[in-house]
Amino acid sequence: MIDFPTTSKRVFSLSSLVSTAVSRLDKLRIFDAKDYLNLNPDVASAGVPAAEHAFYHGANEGRPLFSRARLARALGELVTEDAFNGAVFGTNQRGVEPALTAVNIYVSSLGNVFMNEIAGDLAADLRHAGINVVMLNETADIDTSRVPAVFVAPHEFFALGRGKRWMRDEIIANAFVYNTEQLQTQWFARALPVLMCARGILDISSFSARIFREAGIPSMHVEPSCGSRHVKGTEADRLHPLMRVLPEAARDMDATFDDWDARPIDVSFFGTESPRRESILARFAASLAPYSTCIYYRRKALSSSDRSPFDAAMTRIAEHVSGCSKIYLNIHRDEFSYFEWHRMVRQGMARGALVVTDPCLPHPYFKPGIHFLEEEARHIPNLLDWVLRSEDGRAKAKQLVQNALTTALSTNVQLERTRSVVDFLAAHQKKAFNA
């Protein structure tokens, strides 16, 4: 378990900061006092309001904060509402003065390598928009922190190593945080005190951004660009054991396969274990047997406290394998069917593979049947057969791959989105902290 350096009550000393944060938590569509007390029956005898206890103690102690039923209901409600209204491009603050010229981006050097990739991509986007960006980690000088500052993956940055020293009123109250975690995870719960106190939230999920905005927290949906299609492998990557078991044509990390039909791997999947994935992949085994496949199913889930020097290699290899694959599979780890941007877009679509997934929550830009294919898990083997074995299936796949590449790699569209991020930061960096 990740522990904050001390309880939230001791870390956050400003009464206005705390009262606003607790009020925000109480307003979250996914939080309910009765749910919290039912999940944590010992809290009732403490005589502390549920939201206050969750903020001060529950998040820090790793307690469950939200009922899964309420989470599912909230996400379902947002699907039927205008979930993307105001959450995609933030608050439309064009022409804000003074113009934003510089940003610090902080990401933990001890955390999940995916977060470092996201931070790097965000930095590249902002630089392309003319912003001076400095990339820093938890070892930087706290007293010279520039405003605005964006902290990527707060569940890692403020909890690992010297990042704990950054849990200060003046830092958190002025921080913009980039949340990458799904609402039902323990990592989201542990970031919650920082999220509730932040000046603004950038979120990789449009649904989470909407939920935050409803609670009075300036929030917007942000996805970074995907960078180059070509993966630059290292010599160590080329010698990795996984590379040696790939089809011969896929072992060359300098090879590119612009011809979708010529890709040497039919189906690939990279992910960590979960009971749901275990069951689904086991059922797929016989159906996948006739095809050239690469299924990397990591038995130990990657957490923010067990980073390995091999993790960076695995992300590069995953992207290389996707670039050699006709189909890149996405199977959700649990019943919450988030659109998994990192796997589906960065690792899949941007590498020219057709993404096939079980049903996802809607996405503002990428649409099933236009950019990717989605199907109930039990029918995915039939869908794979149709794509790989039929003429019309292959034709449809190529059309969707091209659509996805155009959308994922469009520099003009990404520049417009990044300018909205700049506007959002500029609009809120000077505002007083309030709900």
Which residues are CB-neighbours of 193 under 8 A, at least 6 positions away?
4, 8, 11, 12, 21, 55, 59, 60
Domain ranges of the chain: 8-225+418-429, 235-408
pTM, to two decimals? 0.89
Residues 205-252 have pLDDT tens digits of 999 999 999 999 999 999 999 865 566 778 888 888 889 999 999 998
Nearest in space to 250 (alpha carbons), one of 314, 313, 326, 310: 326
| Residue labelled with tokens 């995916």 | 114
Query: 219: part of which helix (H) or strand (E)?
Result: strand 219-221
| Residue 177 CB-density burial (10 A; 0-12 exposed, 13-18 middle, 19+ buried) | buried
Instruction: Report the DSSP pairing between strands 373-374 and 293-298.
Output: unpaired
| Residue labelled with tokens 């103690």 | 57
Helices within 28-67 (DSSP H only): 33-39, 50-53
Tokens of 432: 């007083």
Sign of the alpha-carbon dihedral angle for 311, 263, 285, 343: positive
The CA distance from 362 to 78, in Å, is: 10
Q: pLDDT band for 82, please (50, 70, 90 cuts).
A: low
Mean pLDDT of 136-152: 87
Give the three-state DSSP class for 158.
Answer: coil
Which residues are CB-neighbours of 432 under 8 A, at least 6 positions away?
none
CATH 1.10.10 for domain 235-408: no
pLDDT at 7: 41
Query: 327: part of which helix (H) or strand (E)?
Result: strand 325-330
Q: pLDDT band for 62, please (50, 70, 90 cuts).
A: confident
- The pair phi, psi for residue 178, each rounded to 5°, is -105, 105
Please say if the pLDDT value at position 88 is more than 80: no
- The torsion angle over the Cα atoms of residues 232, 234, 239 and 241, rounded to 10 degrees, is -60
Asked if 223 contacts 91 with a C-beta cutoff of 8 angstroms, the reply is: no
Share of the chain above pLDDT 90, in %: 68
How much is the mean pLDDT over the chain? 87
The maximal CA–CA distance of the chain, rounded, in angstroms, is 67
Share of the chain above pLDDT 70, in %: 87
Please say if the pLDDT value at position 66 is more than 80: yes
pLDDT at 57: 92
Mean pLDDT of 369-379: 97
Please say if the pLDDT value at position 154 is more than 80: yes
Instruction: Report the DSSP pairing between strands 149-152 and 132-136.
Output: unpaired
pLDDT at 114: 86
Mean pLDDT of 418-426: 93
The CA distance from 185 to 162, in Å, is: 24
Mean pLDDT of 123-129: 94
CB atoms within 10 A of CB 392: 9
Please say if the pLDDT value at position 98 is more than 60: no
Tokens of 239: 């010698």
Mean pLDDT of 315-329: 93
Q: pLDDT band for 85, please (50, 70, 90 cuts).
A: low
First to last CA, the chain: 31
Q: How many Cα atoms are found within 13 Å in the side-chain-facing hemisphere of 362? A: 13
Q: pLDDT band for 431, please (50, 70, 90 cuts).
A: low
Greater confidence (236 vs 281) lies with 281
The CA distance from 117 to 356, in Å, is: 23
Alpha carbon distances (Å) from 351 to 34, 68, 102, 295, 404: 46, 34, 31, 17, 10
- The pair phi, psi for residue 368, each rounded to 5°, is -65, 145
DSSP state of 146: -
